Amino acid sequence: MSALIAKDSYSLGHLTASIVLYEPSFEGWLSAVYYVYDNKLQHDPSLQLTAQDCYVPSLISAASSVAIDDEKAQRVLIKLNKLLGRSGMRQVLWGFLSEKVDIGTTLFQVIKYAIDYPKRAILQDLGNLYVLELAQTVKSVGREKHRMEAFVRFEHTTDDIYFARVEPDFNVLPLIGEHFRQRYQDQHWAIYDLARGYGIYYDKSQSTASRPAELQTITDLDNAVLRNPASIHSADEQRYQRFWQGYFTNVNIKERKNSRLHKQYLPQRYWKYLSEKQILPNADYLQKRR
């Protein structure tokens, strides 16, 4: 019996994957990369780098948790900048912001490829499955970034802050902040990601004639306000939404309606935060007057 147990234990040992858990931040992932190389795990074919909040424990898997180490993370970042350059690092960061369950492993395999072949333009090698996966992911994140910049709708509040709620597929707030910071320097505004529980805030009082204010991170907003932002709408905002909804009702040409094309250019998942898509109480009346 003891021999049988020993044999089974050996088999399970071969099934056990090397799983490195990192704190769910870019610095956390960089720290995990350092840990892998420091412990010479980079050649393990079963190696996985997984965010702690995505990990599901298993009876046949052993995992090691890695804490953030700013110094080690910085050393890895410097190395990657030398290997990949600014464009390559943008792809790595955008890929990380996709928050895909396996993105930590995909990114590690890409940078391992770059480290193993430092003179090769590895990000152009779409024959490598990990590079291809990263390229497709970056394209999806870029598309979501573009849509957020186009579809964000600010609502004026009684505190004189223009407030917008979003629920992007990917964590694109770090990518769209500069777009709005450059365009809306003359007002207070905030964009809050409901899915991730944080937002960005621009305080125009902190800006100068030569430089716009820095963006601030905000968290823990009042749930009642997040569920019902109309409760803090200013009088001007209420009038504006009625006029805007009325305009869209009146310019609509029923005979030329193409729902399929409309949804292609304006996906339905964005509609609940677009004021023009909300039901106007007297919409039928406005239609009859046309």
Asked if 158 and 268 sit in the same domain, the reply is no
pLDDT of residue 17: 55
Greater model confidence, 241 or 197: 197
State which of 140, 175, 206 marks the end of a domain.
Answer: 140
Least confident of 16-30, 50-64, 191-205, 270-284: 270-284
- Position 264 pLDDT exceeds 50: yes
Share of the chain above pLDDT 90, in %: 65
Greater model confidence, 202 or 9: 202
Residue 259's pLDDT band (cuts 50, 70, 90): confident
Average pLDDT over residues 106-120: 96
Asked if 254 and 228 sit in the same domain, the reply is no
Is residue 146 one of the residues assigned to a domain?
Answer: no
Greater model confidence, 242 or 16: 242
Sheet holding 188-193, edge to edge: 155-156, 161-166, 188-193, 198-202, 216-219
State which of 109, 140, 171 marks the end of a domain.
Answer: 140
Sheet holding 62-66, edge to edge: 48-51, 18-22, 62-66
Is residue 278 one of the residues assigned to a domain?
Answer: yes
Asked if 245 and 180 sit in the same domain, the reply is no
| Residue 225: burial class (beta carbons within 10 Å; 0-12, 13-18, 19+) | middle
Beta bridge partners of 190: 163, 201
Average pLDDT over residues 244-264: 81
Asked if 171 and 121 sit in the same domain, the reply is no
Query: Residue with structure tokens 């707030």?
Result: 173
In whole angstroms, what is the distance from residue 12 CA to residue 279 CA? 59
- Using only C-alpha atoms, the chain has a radius of gyration, in whole angstroms, of 25
Least confident of 13-22, 96-105, 172-181, 253-262: 13-22
Q: CB-based contacts of 223: which residues, under 8 Å, 6+ apart?
A: none
Average pLDDT over residues 201-207: 94
Least confident of 46-50, 94-98, 159-163, 284-288: 284-288
Secondary structure string (H, E, C) spanning 78-134? HHHHHHHHHHHHHHHHHHHCCCCCCHHHHHHHHHHHHHHCCCCCHHHCCCCHHHHHH
| pTM reported for the whole predicted model | 0.83
3-state secondary structure of 202: strand
Is residue 147 one of the residues assigned to a domain?
Answer: no
Provide the domain count of the chain.
3
Asked if 30 and 57 sit in the same domain, the reply is yes
Asked if 113 and 228 sit in the same domain, the reply is no
Asked if 216 and 253 sit in the same domain, the reply is no
Least confident of 20-29, 122-131, 279-288: 279-288
Is residue 7 one of the residues assigned to a domain?
Answer: yes
Asked if 6 and 134 sit in the same domain, the reply is yes
Asked if 168 and 178 sit in the same domain, the reply is yes
Query: Residue with structure tokens 């994957």?
Result: 17
Q: What are the φ and ψ backbone dihedral angles of 162, each rounded to 5 degrees?
A: -90, 115
State which of 108, 140, 172 marks the end of a domain.
Answer: 140
In whole angstroms, what is the distance from residue 118 CA to residue 135 CA? 19
Is residue 86 one of the residues assigned to a domain?
Answer: yes
Q: CB-based contacts of 155: which residues, under 8 Å, 6+ apart?
A: 162, 163, 164, 229, 233, 237, 241, 275
- Position 192 pLDDT exceeds 60: yes
Left (φ > 0), alpha (ψ -120 to 50) or beta: where does 85 sit? left
Average pLDDT over residues 210-226: 91
In terms of residue numbers, what domain contains 127?
2-140
Residue 279's pLDDT band (cuts 50, 70, 90): low
Asked if 127 and 51 sit in the same domain, the reply is yes
pLDDT of residue 283: 45
Asked if 258 and 283 sit in the same domain, the reply is yes
pLDDT of residue 6: 35
Q: What is the DSSP letter of 162?
A: E
Asked if 111 and 122 sit in the same domain, the reply is yes
- Position 5 pLDDT exceeds 80: no
Is residue 145 one of the residues assigned to a domain?
Answer: no
Residue 3's pLDDT band (cuts 50, 70, 90): very low
- Position 262 pLDDT exceeds 80: no
